[in-house]
Amino acid sequence: MRDLVIIGSGPAGLSAAVYASNACMDFIVIEKYPMSGGQILNTEEVNNYLGFESAEGFTLGQTFRNHAEKSGATFVNDEVVSISKNKTHFEVKCENETYLSKAVILATGVIRKHLNVKGESDFAGKGVSYCATCDGNFFRNKIVAVVGGGDVACEDALYLANVCEKVYLIHRRDKLRAAKYLQNRVFDNNKIEFVPNANVTEINGGNAVESVSLDNGSVLSVNGIFIAIGVEPEVEFLNGLADTDSQGFIVANEDCKTSVDGLLVAGDIRTKPLRQISTAVSDGANAVKSAEDYFNRIEM
Ligand code: NAP
């Protein structure tokens, strides 16, 4: 049986891996995707992580992964199906194998929320996207809409303005939620038209997206729509094992301890006021410290 299983290899999981290596723990990192990095893989530019004035999200993800590998972390490409705890250990059941460990750090991150409007699922991959950096190039010199008012919506609008003819930024209020520097860049960009106080009610088209209908009665002709209305955790595999808040985020303080002794949670999936790379990296360190405290307690 291992000391620790870390699930997820975004900034939180990779930071935990470096700290677990330094603590000489016997551990593995389980990642379901072929790449490490989590949400930052979809970020064009990161400019607020100390030491990196301007980094490509993808490159930063690789840099973090290289650091974790060089520190001695072992990675397993598998998807977790369930986690359970008995008196002495956790059982992490994956699609290909089951792993036993004394403690678990959950760092599985979040996924993008859906709008749940008519046409959204019908046009998935035919003009509806949740990732501007992945799909933006398909809309070169075309007209697109971005929905949302947070950091991601503004980042997406700015990225798309570089490749598209025009970008509508549709937001349900008249004030954006994004960091001020992103708002300034959006408002200074003459390819981006801000559409405030509007909700998308339907996505229309034939073989692909042709327009979006808004609740103010207008219809915007667009070739694509990028949905950036926030994130939600994926916690089904927990089967109610740990306490979550009303939105499904796993309840824990800065010490990353969940309602289950020995189960720690790190990164965006934890209840927290600010979801950033820096706070995810900090969680990774704190979660390993809490795992050490737990080992000391159960081995006394
Ligand atoms: P977010 O900050 O939660 O913003 C979501 C936006 O979508 C809000 O403006 C919200 O409107 C709007 N919205 C939510 N539900 C909606 C609905 N059903 N219909 C229409 N609009 C809806 O989410 P995010 O921009 O995806 O960012 C996720 C997290 O990652 C945030 O904590 C963010 O700070 C973080 N992030 C960090 C970095 C970085 O570290 N550099 C970069 C990107 C993102 P209201 O404003 O009216 O609520």
Q: Is the CB of 47 under 6 A from ligand 1?
A: no
Rounded to an integer, what is the distance from CA 295 to the centroid of its chain?
29
Spacing, Cα 153 to ligand 1 middle (Å)? 7
- Do 141 and 164 meet the contact criterion of CB atoms below 8 Å apart? yes
Candidates 175, 275, 283: which one to mutate for ligand 1, based on the most atoms within 8 Å of Cβ?
Answer: 275
The SS3 assignment for 79 reads coil
The beta-strand segments (E) located in the chain are 2-7, 27-31, 45-46, 55-56, 75-77, 80-85, 90-94, 98-106, 110-112, 128-129, 143-147, 166-170, 192-195, 200-205, 209-214, 219-221, 224-227, 231-233, 263-265
What predicted TM-score, i.e. pTM, was given to this entire model? 0.88
Q: What is the pLDDT of residues 117-174, one digit of tens each?
A: 999 999 998 999 999 988 999 999 999 999 999 999 999 999 999 999 999 999 999 9
* Residues that are catalytic: 131, 134-135
Spacing, Cα 36 to ligand 1 middle (Å)? 22
Q: How far apart are CA 97 and CA 298, in angstroms?
A: 26
Q: How far apart are CA 253 and CA 262, in angstroms?
A: 14
Q: What is the pLDDT of residues 233-267, one digit of tens each?
A: 988 899 999 999 999 999 999 999 999 999 999 99
Q: Name beta bridge partners: 147.
A: 170, 227
Give the residue whose CA is nearest to atom 23 of ligand 1. Answer: 230
Q: What is the pLDDT of residues 57-68, one digit of tens each?
A: 999 999 999 999
Q: How far apart are CA 20 and CA 15, in angstroms?
A: 9
Q: How many residues does the chain have?
A: 300
